[in-house]
Chains A and B, each alone.
Chain A
Amino acid sequence: MRVLIIEDDREAAAYLRNALDEAGHAADTVHDGEAGLHRAECEDYDALIIDRMLPGLDGLSIISRLRVAGDTTPALILSALGEVDDRVTGLRAGGDDYLSKPYAFTELLARLEVLSRRTLGREDDTQYEVGDLKLNRLSRQVTRSGEEIALQPREFRLLEYLMRNKGQVVTRTMLLEHVWDYHFDPQTNVIDVHISRLRSKIGKGYDKPLLQTIRGAGYVMRE
């Protein structure tokens, strides 16, 4: 994945670039708004990481200008501002996700990878499959090796989100955001308990765990 980082704090930008390099992605850094917009317009990236407060042109303006020009490259907004309302303004400006500083790199990476895959159009599929686990979004049926598994509505949504992003690491905050639609930081192990219940429902009697825990990051559905 090719990523453009527009961030005026050079140390933070360099840290991000190195970390993305290590994770196997290629990242470019730009330190001011005007140059960032120019770079994003001229070159082809899979995702943009844009700091909200930048010298020259601020982050939200960059995104709105790109969107007006028809550029739909997924953009992740980084901000030192608080959550609740700034998030809304950020997404309204055309940002695809919002992360407030300080953040864990694993959180950023997970969100970035999910964002850059969004273009694959998996949201339109009616059926998701991971190995022998199948989830039908229309009939709301979940089967493993043809055997039906009964799930609570919330468990269904949890599984649906995990399967849509199969092979992608999703974090606890991402699950809270997409399954419960709340954006605060789950401080206790609330999400873990939901996951372990779901895991036991879909994995009972099977050796191969499809829902795996990635230590320090989150969860992933894969074969």
Chain B
Amino acid sequence: MKRFLAIMNTTAARLSALYLVLFTLCSIFLVFYMTGVAARFLTADTRSEIVAQLNTLDRDFRRGGMRRLLFEVERRSRGPGANLYILTDASGRILSGNVFAIEPGVMDEFGWRNRPFTYARFSDESDVLGQPDRAPRAIAQVSRLPNGMRLLVGRDIGEPERFRQIIRRALALALLIMGIGATLIWLFVGRRALKRIDAISIASNRILAGDLSGRLPVSKANDEFDRLSAGLNTMLERISTLNDGLREVSDSIAHDLKTPLTRLQNRAAAAFSKAERGEATQEDIASILGESDQIIRIFNALLLISRVESGYTKKQFEAVDLTEVATDIGDLYGPSAEEAGVSLGVQADEAVFVHGNRELIGQAMTNLIENALKYGAVEDGLKKREVAVSVSRAQNRMAILRVTDNGPGIPDADKNHVLQRFVRLDESRSKPGSGLGLSLVSAIVSLHNGTMKLMDAEPGLTVEIQFPIVD
């Protein structure tokens, strides 16, 4: 019963019930209308038949007198058919005809008798008149002959009645079949829908319980449930990716921020004990501030990376000229590169537009140039250090940005590794940095649907980034 109520609660079942009721009402109306019209036609037919017969008999009487009339009534009475004939004398005694008995009083009213009356033929059982349900019924016209005799010509109306009954019985049967059919369809469709919805809610409860790797069931039917499930699955996929990203970030934070935090605490503790002895200097406080600045910087970089990875900034994209950004950043870093003894060259001539965020692209170039300046150092110091930035167009409608140094490069084995957060190769540990620069670049590149490759510049490292060009 509960199950049934649950099915009744589905939209499909409610809609089918509504349709069933509407359809039934329409059919009932249609059947009644049809039978009514048909019966009216039949009755009109009967009446004109009766009138015609009466006219003929009347003519026979006038031409051939009583004998002819009696003969004709006899002849017609013997014939097959649903017609009734009664000829009585003035007192009402039956002289001729095919009727054995008739509802009393019928012969006393002249003219049309439209209300059906009961009668019995000779062939019927004698007491049929006493049983109104079983007695045949007829309509008739009674006319008075000039000699006072009465003539009734009528017709059995059992036929249209039976016709009406057959149609109504057919309707009842059809309704019954339809009702059963509809119920079966509800049970089948409703149960099926319920089962699938149950499956979806069980799966989503499992996911709610914390199993983010769970997915909603998708069948091969590709119906609306499947499309819904597939859509939700894509959403779960995205959430799961973001969640993994978050977890990775929090793991990294736990792991790598502990070092600078510990350093901060040590310095603060040292400054505190110095202060107790009255020896604390501004330098001590400054070193604490410097350390906390570094921590904030790492936090900001992490936040920016996860922001970029979440795709949040995409809505403020516009056409950005890579050449202009490269020139700007090159111009910004030129003097300090020169101070460090590095020649920083920018080769970017024609405008190359990509769809993106100018700030983020600028940030990415900044990180690459800073990396090249910081890690592209040559040990022997004999060779002139160079960092080259170039912007060009590739054949496949891609813009290419390259930042190349002539330093030691990165071994092939480490090339994928360095894109991860907080990864710093051993050689660079001695230099300041958060290990987040390249991961931010990588996040910015994928936000812009670009690709990033680390290549050998022999000697040195080339970072090549490709962005789709816009016009």
Chain A: residues with CB nearer than 8 A to chain B? 82-85, 88, 100, 102, 104, 154, 176, 180-185, 187-190, 192-194, 197
Contact = CB atoms under 8 A, between A and B. Distances in A.
Contacts of B6: none
B370 A82 contact: no
13 contacts: A84-B304, A84-B313, A84-B360, A85-B312, A85-B357, A88-B316, A104-B293, A154-B331, A176-B332, A184-B366, A192-B336, A193-B338, A194-B332
B233 interface: no
Interface residues of B, number: 27
Contacts of A192: 336
B234 interface: no
Contact of B370 (A104, A180, A188): A188
Interface string B306-338: 010000110110000000000010011101101
Contacts of A185: 297, 300
Interface of B: 293, 296-297, 300, 303-304, 307, 312-313, 315-316, 328, 331-333, 335-336, 338-339, 357, 359-360, 362-363, 366, 370, 373
A84 B307 contact: yes
Contact of B336 (A82, A176, A180, A188): A188
B211 to A, nearest CB: 31
Given A182-B359, A182-B362, A82 B332 contact: no
Contacts of A83: 300, 304, 359
B316 A85 contact: yes
Contact of A182 (B312, B316, B328): B328
B359 A187 contact: no
Contact of B332 (A85, A180, A197): A180
A82 to B, nearest CB: 5
A193 B303 CA distance: 29
Contacts of B363: 182, 184
Contacts of B366: 184
Residue from the set A100, A104, A187 with the largest chain B CB neighbour count within 10 Å = A187
A190 B373 CA distance: 12
A188 to B, nearest CB: 6
Given A82-B303, A85-B312, A189 B362 contact: no
B304 A82 contact: yes
Contacts of B335: 190, 193-194, 197
A85 B363 CA distance: 14
B328 A180 contact: yes
Contacts of A104: 293
Contacts of A181: 328
Contacts of B333: 190
Nearest to A189: B336
A183 B315 CA distance: 18
Contacts of A183: 359
Contacts of A197: 335
Given A84-B360, A184-B362, A193 B300 contact: no
A83 to B, nearest CB: 7
A195 B296 CA distance: 26
Contacts of B373: 188
Nearest to A80: B303
Contacts of B312: 85
Nearest to B306: A82
Nearest to A88: B316
Contacts of A180: 328, 331-332
A84 B359 contact: yes
A189 B339 CA distance: 10
Contacts of B300: 82-83, 100, 185
Contacts of B296: 102
A193 B339 CA distance: 8
Given A84-B304, A85-B357, A181-B328, 7 more contacts: A82-B303, A100-B300, A104-B293, A180-B332, A182-B328, A182-B359, A188-B370
A104 B293 CA distance: 9
A180 B325 CA distance: 10
User: Which 7 residue pairs are nearest across A and B when measured between Cβ atoms?
Assistant: A193-B335, A193-B336, A190-B336, A85-B313, A182-B362, A82-B307, A184-B363
B428 to A, nearest CB: 15
Contact of A187 (B313, B328, B370): B370
A85 B366 CA distance: 19
Contacts of A154: 331
B336 to A, nearest CB: 4
B463 to A, nearest CB: 18
B202 to A, nearest CB: 39
A193 B438 CA distance: 25
Given A82-B303, A182-B362, A187 B336 contact: no
Contacts of B339: 193
A110 B363 CA distance: 24
Nearest to A183: B359
Nearest to A198: B335
A184 to B, nearest CB: 5
